[in-house]
Chains A and B, each alone.
Chain A
Amino acid sequence: MNEILRLSNLKKHYASQKAVDDISFSIEQGSIFGLLGPNGAGKTTLLRMITGIFYPDSGNIQFDGKPFDPLNDIIKIGYMPEERGLYKKMKIGEQALYLAQLKGLSRSDAMQKIKFWFNRMEMESWWNKKVEDLSKGMSQKLQFVTTVLHEPKLIILDEPFSGLDPLNANLIKEEIYGLAQRGSTVIFSTHRMEQVEEICNHIVLVNLGKKVLDGTVADIKQQFKENKFSIQLSSLPAEINSNAFTIVEQKGNELIVQINENFMSNDVLKYFLQQNHSIESFREILPTLNQIFIQLVEGTHATARAFERSVN
């Protein structure tokens, strides 16, 4: 697989602190990539460097195999910032046309693509409406369309589902899958972990300007597993006594057990098989991303920093 983006030792310092402090990672083409982190971790700064809004203090960015050249590469990127913005007084059709032209599309190309997307998202009837007349969800949809209209190679979405009802969120989600299938790479920045688990192949977690996690969702879960298993029995034995595991929790006939050192999951099964209790289910409990996130971020004063730094 090709790398669409490779960041090497990126640094960006503001007067008071290091917003991005030596971050490196790479993103494969066609993947859906999750950039996670608490508020103020440096996500926005990182994204602004990838979109060419800021220059890094040091380090470099490779885009599509070549050093990143904001002036020319910018048209291959679509960026939807967390703070959505549209010209309130402008008509929706004109607005989409304007933004598409600024992305380098000719007028006729832009018209054609706008018609395609408006049709697809059921927005044709909005053409002559003004943005100020749209609901929040509607303007969100418009913002998404203007971001992906020019078929960018790299799409950066900062909290794309905030303010959307489940129906529209699903619609956008489907579009994100579709775009990835057609070869676009999607960077997805959020702190909604359940969405990340559902959508992303690969994630990076940043905190206090540093990278703390990098890998596929499955690998990371493996890395953070605590050897916990859930075992459902038809009936509970009166007494359970094994060296192989300790019981963490008991819910009806379900036991959550933690396997002790030097033992395997099979040892748990073996024990219950010997006890001759019928086993209804047995599965490993992996931590959710949410738990991993909280575990890694908690206690690092990330929120205090977010407050201090909200201006930069």
Chain B
Amino acid sequence: MNKIFIIIQREYLSRVKNKRFLLTTLLTPIIMVGFIAGATFLSISGKDEHKIAVIDQNGFFKSNLQNTKEIIFSFPENIDTTNYITKGFTDIILIPKFEGTAKVNYIIRSKKRLGLNTESNISDKINEAIEDKMLQDAGIQRSQLDSIRSKSQFAELKSMEEKGDSVQESNAALSYGIGFGSGMLIYITMFIYGAMVMRGVMEEKTNRIAEVMVSSVKPFQLMMGKIIGIGAVGLTQFFMWIILIGVLTTAAQFFIPHDVMQQVSSLQQSNGQIPTGGMVQAGDAAQKIYKLQHTMSTANWPVIIACFIFYFLGGYLFYASLFAAVGSVVNEDPQDAQSLMLPITMPIIFSFIIMSNAVQDPSTSIATWASIIPFSSPMVMMARIAYGIPGTVPYWQLGLSMLSLIGGFLLTTWLSGKIYRTGILMYGKKVSWKEMGKWAFRKN
């Protein structure tokens, strides 16, 4: 036991002390935020401008069609599909005469192929114009309709979930976010840390230290020490991220004006009711912050975090030993690793696909079974747990899933240990899956 601990210590410290570890831990959240911001920025800016000539045989679009920043409609004379480009337009729309409400196709011809966004914007504008025309014909003003619409928002759906004696507020969007987020995180970390284990084993083998090591410790101790050490690195990284998120959100509050925060806390006290005639009037910003905080509070965070840690560790242990086994049979050629990894990466990718369906519909039988079978349970169960225990996931399913995951990783570790033991001392030969199977099921 003592030797395993020494190995864990080395595997852990040699990675955590590395500057690269600190850098990736700090940079990953920043890069992720940057990526989202960048994508948003790109989707907002950088659209081309479209000058569209409209040939309308109904005669009412001229007064109803509204321009946007990028899309400018005009109704020039003497224009057709042969000369619109020379006259400086990028596109031309031909709208035939409408016959009542019978389906009609109108055609847009363009210099360049239209983007998906532009296309739907143009069709929205045209439909809006038709809608305006119909409202006018019915004697309704658009502004009237808009004000009715916004006033009608006073009614709000709140979904409540049975929780034994009490009911609790639930939020499908939040569940989706948590389920998908944690499933995704497990998916990514399984690959990152699994590959890290595999590289570590390959390093020991190609540096020929494996033989020196196994003359002091049992191969199984060497493998487990590496797996546990790297798992601990993963947990350290998670805790650092949690702390980082905590610090960042606290820091963010300092940038929110003081009076807004006061409004938020008064909203909290009054349970979301806007105090009428009170000292403080809740502004729009305060309401949004309160709503966010309130939504976040509907999730059962302690259970979710505890389950996340369990499924992260269970999934990691389940797959890490398989990655270690693959690393142990690879020779100098990294391409061998690629082909040997495939049977391990396939179930991971497959589980990801099931997981992304399970977050939308957590109670299908595929989702249920996939959340119990240890190959896929770490990701799929996290997707379902977000929808609530024991509402969506009964206790027996959770228990069965956890037990089978523990049994699963004991089994994969045991089999991998046998492959590993033979593999790390074997040089020069390409090993097939059949041979690995033989090693795994060999006695002693």
Lowest 8 A-B CB distances belong to which pairs?
A85-B209, A85-B208, A311-B429, A83-B208, A79-B215, A81-B211, A102-B216, A51-B215
A81's partner among B215, B426, B429 (CB-CB below 8 A) is B215
A102's partner among B6, B204, B207, B211 (CB-CB below 8 A) is B6
Q: Of A86-94, A186-194, A258-266, which stretch is located at the interface? A: A86-94
* B13 (CB) vs chain A CBs: closest residue: A94
> B426 to chain A: which residues have CB within 8 Å?
311-312
Q: How far is the CB of A130 from chain B (nearest CB, A)?
A: 12
* B430 (CB) vs chain A CBs: closest residue: A311
Chain A stretch 285-312: residues in CB contact (< 8 A) with chain B = 310-312
Query: Given A81-B211, A85-B209, A99-B216, 15 other A-B contacts at CB below 8 A?
Result: A48-B425, A55-B444, A71-B218, A83-B427, A84-B212, A85-B204, A85-B210, A85-B211, A86-B209, A98-B6, A102-B6, A102-B216, A310-B428, A310-B429, A311-B427
| Contact between B208 and A74, CB atoms less than 8 A apart | no
| Contact between A53 and B215, CB atoms less than 8 A apart | yes
B212's partner among A71, A75, A85 (CB-CB below 8 A) is A85
25 contacts between A and B (CB under 8 A): A52-B215, A53-B211, A53-B425, A55-B444, A74-B216, A79-B215, A81-B211, A81-B212, A83-B427, A85-B207, A85-B208, A85-B210, A86-B207, A86-B209, A87-B203, A88-B207, A99-B212, A102-B6, A102-B213, A143-B212, A146-B212, A310-B427, A310-B428, A310-B429, A311-B427
Q: How far is the CB of B420 from chain A (nearest CB, A)?
A: 13
Q: How far is the CB of B410 from chain A (nearest CB, A)?
A: 22
> A53 to chain B: which residues have CB within 8 Å?
211, 214-215, 425
Count of chain A to chain B residue pairs whose CB atoms are closer than 8 Å in the complex: 66
| Contact between B208 and A77, CB atoms less than 8 A apart | no
> B203 to chain A: which residues have CB within 8 Å?
87-88
A62 CB-CB contact with B under 8 Å: no
Assembled-state Cα–Cα distance A143/B7 (Å):
19
Chain A stretch 7-55: residues in CB contact (< 8 A) with chain B = 48, 51-53, 55
Chain B stretch 170-223: residues in CB contact (< 8 A) with chain A = 203-204, 207-218
* Max count, chain B CB within 10 A of own CB: residue among A51, A53, A146: A53
* B209 (CB) vs chain A CBs: closest residue: A85
Interface size range of chain B in the complex:
20 to 34
> A153 to chain B: which residues have CB within 8 Å?
none
Assembled-state Cα–Cα distance A312/B428 (Å):
9
B3 CB-CB contact with A under 8 Å: yes
Assembled-state Cα–Cα distance A77/B214 (Å):
12
Assembled-state Cα–Cα distance A310/B427 (Å):
8
> A87 to chain B: which residues have CB within 8 Å?
203-204, 207, 209
B10 CB-CB contact with A under 8 Å: yes
> A84 to chain B: which residues have CB within 8 Å?
208, 212
Q: How far is the CB of B9 from chain A (nearest CB, A)?
A: 9
Q: How far is the CB of B215 from chain A (nearest CB, A)?
A: 4
B28 CB-CB contact with A under 8 Å: no
| Contact between A102 and B429, CB atoms less than 8 A apart | no
B14 CB-CB contact with A under 8 Å: yes
Chain A stretch 95-133: residues in CB contact (< 8 A) with chain B = 98-99, 101-103
Q: How far is the CB of A76 from chain B (nearest CB, A)?
A: 12
* B6 (CB) vs chain A CBs: closest residue: A101
> Please, what's the 1-or-0 string for B304-315, where 1 marks a CB less than 8 Å from any CB in chain A?
000000000000
> A89 to chain B: which residues have CB within 8 Å?
14
Q: How far is the CB of A201 from chain B (nearest CB, A)?
A: 24
Answer whether A77 and B215 are a contact pair too, CB < 8 Å, given A311-B426, A311-B427, A312-B426.
yes
> A310 to chain B: which residues have CB within 8 Å?
427-429
> A71 to chain B: which residues have CB within 8 Å?
218
| Contact between B212 and A74, CB atoms less than 8 A apart | no
Q: How far is the CB of B333 from chain A (nearest CB, A)?
A: 15
> A51 to chain B: which residues have CB within 8 Å?
215
Q: How far is the CB of A107 from chain B (nearest CB, A)?
A: 10
| Contact between A90 and B429, CB atoms less than 8 A apart | no
> B10 to chain A: which residues have CB within 8 Å?
98
* Max count, chain B CB within 10 A of own CB: residue among A53, A71, A102, A311: A102
Q: How far is the CB of A89 from chain B (nearest CB, A)?
A: 7
Assembled-state Cα–Cα distance A103/B426 (Å):
24
| Contact between A79 and B6, CB atoms less than 8 A apart | no
* B2 (CB) vs chain A CBs: closest residue: A104
Q: How far is the CB of A306 from chain B (nearest CB, A)?
A: 12
| Contact between B208 and A102, CB atoms less than 8 A apart | no
Assembled-state Cα–Cα distance A88/B204 (Å):
10
* A100 (CB) vs chain B CBs: closest residue: B216
> A52 to chain B: which residues have CB within 8 Å?
215
Assembled-state Cα–Cα distance A101/B217 (Å):
11
Q: How far is the CB of A37 from chain B (nearest CB, A)?
A: 18
> Please, what's the 1-or-0 string for B45-74, where 1 marks a CB less than 8 Å from any CB in chain A?
000000000000000000000000000000
| Contact between B215 and A311, CB atoms less than 8 A apart | no
Q: How far is the CB of B174 from chain A (nearest CB, A)?
A: 44
Answer whether A83 and B211 are a contact pair too, CB < 8 Å, given A55-B444, A310-B428.
yes
Q: How far is the CB of A266 from chain B (nearest CB, A)?
A: 53
Assembled-state Cα–Cα distance A87/B7 (Å):
13
Answer whether A102 and B14 are a contact pair too, CB < 8 Å, given A81-B215, A85-B212, A87-B207.
no
> A86 to chain B: which residues have CB within 8 Å?
207, 209, 212
Assembled-state Cα–Cα distance A85/B209 (Å):
4
* B210 (CB) vs chain A CBs: closest residue: A85
* A83 (CB) vs chain B CBs: closest residue: B208
* B3 (CB) vs chain A CBs: closest residue: A102
